[in-house]
Chains A and B, each alone.
Chain A
Amino acid sequence: MTNPINSYLTRGAKSNAHAAFLKRHRTRNFVIRLVQIALFIAFILFWELGANYRLIDPLLFSQPSKIWAMFAEMLLKGNLHNHITVTVIETIVGFILGTVFGTAIAIAIWWSPFLSKVLDPYLVVLNGMPKVALGPTFIVAFGGGYGGIIAMAIAISIIITTIVVYTSFREVDSNLIKLAQTFGANQRQIFGKIVLPASFPTIISTLKVNVGLAWVGVIVGEFLVSKQGLGYLIIYGFQVFNLTLVFVSLFIIAICASLMYQGVAALESKLLKNRE
């Protein structure tokens, strides 16, 4: 009766029905994870073998084994640290500043309904505009170093942050504001004690969106100017037609971006632990 797999799948069960439910639930989750891994392995195998048998052009798409070998070699030689550090720092600075500035503008607009009405069409237009198109302008204005690249990352996230945060300020229950007013609260107290904390979850969630946007901004910025960073490695790889280098960079970006996203998600659940 008590085989180890069964007792593992039903651990913590409160009754027979609960055990059956847990078993079904856990088996399903296990199968999902299994299929995910299988899909990944199949993809890598197809890529590797396809390149060997020339189904895929290895010059254009490289090959997992080559990518891995180059990654390991560069890592051991210490050729990667610098590029990774530069790009990660630019991204972190970019998404934090984008969120902070965007929130600051949202606060200014909340403070002055007149300003919000005046700026409304400009925000809509700016939000719709592809900010990357302004890349060269930023480089000229803020310099070809970190300045221009970070400006690019900020430009991409700032307007959407402003719009999202301002909307959440406005959607705060007017009864909560009335409550504060019955105690004689002034505008600053209404903001500090009600509106800002009520919108805190939204601000944190824009942080999560901005991580992704900042990556786009930084990589594009590095395409345009830099002499270092993962974006630079990609452009350099294309120029010397070393596609393996391009894929190594993409691989690193994928890992860093996921780690950063997970980090912000963890921060979010920690900060919002006690919210409804």
Chain B
Amino acid sequence: MKNNPIISFNQVSKTYITLDGETEALKDVNFTVGEGEFVALLGPSGCGKTTILSLLAGLILPTSGSIFIRNKKVETPSREIGYMLQQDYLLSWRTIRHNIMLGLEISKQNGKESYQYALDLLDEMELSAFKDHYPNQLSGGMRQRVALVRTLATRPDILLLDEPFSALDYTTRLRLEDLVIETLKKRRKTALLVTHDIAEAIAMADRIIIMDSNPGCIKKTVNLPPSLTKTLPFGSREVPDFQKYFQLIWREMNEND
């Protein structure tokens, strides 16, 4: 691990309390992420992956333990974080141009320069021609690219990706994986990807944190070799190491059941 982590979780536990009782979603979670690193959280559904992202985004508070971003304790949503949800959630009543400005409007980054930055990103995603279209006129892959632009427009250092490709068809998904990695690496963003898809985790990440459920905790961390981390996701799937790590992680995940 790098000397100076950008994200760190120290003994974090989260218990949801509702009228029906308590759900222990996370128990004693410890991990760090280095600057510029791409980490995947891999685990079955219900193991607390989304809870980890919500905690990091400052949307909820831990029951115990603490979370730091650049040595600052997380208590409210912060500018450093960009969050991509499971679906694009574009606002149907706004044009694409106004959809990508949403974060800028809310965080009052109203400068001309910020708007231009967002429009340039849209151009980079080859969506400039659709500026004045409405979301329902775009395909699923295009919409998710718009959502990526909306997230990057506020210039966060850390990206949280909560199964962002799960609603897309396979081909679109592979293409988008490459695009996301290229875009993030180019800007040296730190990223935390949540997924239950082993192949996706191996193809995209530098490091994989395997989680277990009931209560959610970290089972094992797997560092991927340069042969997998230096290639784009689509190419990674062809590398011989890919199968090896797939087997390894598969066994790890299915061990004690």
15 A-B pairs, CB-CB below 8 angstroms? Answer: A173-B89, A175-B87, A176-B91, A179-B85, A180-B102, A180-B106, A181-B59, A182-B82, A182-B85, A184-B76, A184-B78, A193-B105, A194-B91, A275-B93, A276-B136
Assembled-state Cα–Cα distance A185/B81 (Å): 13
Interface residues on chain B, number (Cβ under 8 Å): 24
A43 at the binding interface (Cβ < 8 Å) = no
Partner of A175, one of B89, B92, B136: B89
Contacts of B103 in A (CB 8 A): 183
**Is the Cβ of B77 less than 8 Å from the Cβ of A184?**
yes
Q: Which of B84-130 contact A (CB under 8 A)?
A: 85-87, 89, 91-93, 102-103, 105-107
Contacts of A181 in B (CB 8 A): 59, 77
Assembled-state Cα–Cα distance A198/B103 (Å): 17
Q: Mark B16-42, 1 if CB is under 8 A from A, else 0.
A: 000000000000000000000000000
Distance (whole angstroms) from the CB of A273 to the closest CB of chain B: 10
B9 at the binding interface (Cβ < 8 Å) = no
- Given the known interface contacts A183-B103, A183-B107, A185-B106, the answer about A198 and B81 at a Cβ–Cβ threshold of 8 Å is no
- Given the known interface contacts A182-B59, A193-B102, the answer about A275 and B92 at a Cβ–Cβ threshold of 8 Å is yes
Assembled-state Cα–Cα distance A182/B159 (Å): 11
B83 at the binding interface (Cβ < 8 Å) = yes
Q: Which of B62-79 contact A (CB under 8 A)?
A: 76-79
Q: Mark A257-276, 1 if CB is under 8 A from B, else 0.
A: 00000000000000000111
Mostly helix, strand, loop or mixed at chain A's interface?
Answer: helix
**Is the Cβ of B59 less than 8 Å from the Cβ of A197?**
no
Assembled-state Cα–Cα distance A178/B106 (Å): 13
Distance (whole angstroms) from the CB of B177 to the closest CB of chain A: 22
Contacts of A137 in B (CB 8 A): none
Mostly helix, strand, loop or mixed at chain B's interface?
Answer: loop
Partner-B contacts on A (CB < 8 A): 173, 175-176, 178-185, 189, 193-194, 197-198, 200, 274-276
Partner of B77, one of A173, A182, A194: A182
- Max count, chain A CB within 10 A of own CB: residue among B86, B103, B106, B134: B106
**Is the Cβ of A189 less than 8 Å from the Cβ of B92?**
no
Contacts of A194 in B (CB 8 A): 91
Given contacts A184-B79, A274-B134, A275-B92, 12 further A-B pairs with CB under 8 A are: A175-B87, A178-B85, A179-B83, A182-B59, A182-B82, A184-B107, A185-B106, A193-B105, A194-B91, A197-B91, A198-B91, A200-B93
Contacts of A185 in B (CB 8 A): 106
Contacts of A198 in B (CB 8 A): 91, 93
Closest B residue by C-beta to A185:
B106
Closest B residue by C-beta to A200:
B93
Assembled-state Cα–Cα distance A180/B57 (Å): 12
